[in-house]
């Protein structure tokens, strides 16, 4: 999938996932990989900086 598309929507995808249930970064990464059928690759290294920006 296009990485630029991922950058544009990653915050919304994370917020939507966290709206369903609170979870820590690793669980969030696993959840997004399952829900997105691996269309987007959310590595833990991407999740934690994004969560920090959303604080």
Please state the domain count of the chain: 1
Helix/strand/coil for 21: coil
Q: Where are the alpha helices (DSSP H) in 1-43?
A: 3-20, 25-35
**Domain span holding position 10:** 3-54
Q: What is the pLDDT along the chain (55 residues), one digit of tens a residue?
A: 556 666 668 889 899 999 999 999 999 988 988 887 767 777 778 889 989 998 8
Query: What is the maximum alpha-carbon separation in the chain?
Result: 28
27 — alpha (psi -120 to 50), left (phi > 0) or beta?
alpha
Which residues make Cβ contacts (< 8 Å) with residue 39, sequence separation at least 6?
1
Q: What is the pTM of this model?
A: 0.75
Taken as a whole, the chain contains a residue count of 55
């Amino acid at each position: 999938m296009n990485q630029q598309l991922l950058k544009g929507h990653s915050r919304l995808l994370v917020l939507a996932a966290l709206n369903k249930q609170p979870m820590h970064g690793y669980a969030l990464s696993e959840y997004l990989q399952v829900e997105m059928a691996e269309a987007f690759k959310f590595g833990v290294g991407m999740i934690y900086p994004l969560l920090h920006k959303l604080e």
